[in-house]
Amino acid sequence: MNKAIIVTLSIVIIIGIISIGLVWYSYTQIHVSLNNVKFDSIDWAPISLEMFFKLGLGMLDGNWLETAFELIQGVNLNLMFGLSNFGFIPVYIPDLSYDLIINDISLGVGHGNIDTVIYPGETKEIPILQNFQKNSLAPTVKSIISSGGVIKLRVSGTAYFKLLGMNIPIPFESTKQISLVDEINYHLNNEIQKNRLQSDLNIQLDDSINQAIETIKNKIIVKK
């Protein structure tokens, strides 16, 4: 009788140890990373004819990007997070939080609601829309301009998954970069075409404004 109890207890203990080992191994096999950063949109301020003139002057003296940043009210980026489970048990991930750093300047904390289950051997890509308002971008503007419009985004944070009623943290850190120049050029080109259409409808533009528009147009073509 005692021998049977000992054997049973031994089996239970072994199963418990194996279960704990599988859980621990699965925990170490969950990976979170920032796979990519994609443009969603830029929030633009209305552009006036005087601003075209200012941009034209900026093109001539090499400060056009600094002037263009005056038009940017916000930048919206899609952060593409990759979540992988190389363990043996399904994992539910409710959310993640992260520090946002652009060109080595901290811009505060972001948060994403994940609310998904990652099954063993599965990888999911989760997009999180991150908005940077003009006032929050202000500390980084000089750095972005000096780098030719490049945003180097570093995301460092923690994802949480639920296991046996507990929230267990998974730290991660990733760096990606993206250029604003093409998006700015595209917007300015659209504004040029719009103002050309207005001119064709007999809205007279000052000669200096027309010259500024031509300067911007030529610079955009050269940059492409």
Print the domain residue range for 114: 2-223
Residue among 112, 114, 86, 117 nearest 98 (CA): 112
Q: How many whole angstroms separate alpha carbon 160 and alpha carbon 94?
A: 7
pLDDT in tens, 151-175: 999 999 888 877 666 777 888 889 9
What pTM does this model have?
0.70
Tens of pLDDT, residues 102-161: 999 999 899 888 888 888 889 999 999 999 998 888 899 889 988 888 899 999 988 887
Per the structure, the count of domains in the chain is 1
Instruction: Give the CATH number, domain containing residue 119.
Output: 2.60.40.10
- Nearest CA to 79 out of 99, 106, 104, 103 is that of 99
Task: Give the pLDDT confidence of 12-44 residue by residue, as tens digits.
Answer: 777 777 766 666 676 667 888 888 888 888 888
User: Could you tell me the sign of the dihedral formed by the alpha carbons of 140, 146, 147, 149, in that order?
Assistant: positive
Q: Which whole number is the average pLDDT over 176-189?
A: 83
Residue-wise pLDDT for 59-78, tens only, equals 666 677 888 888 889 999 99
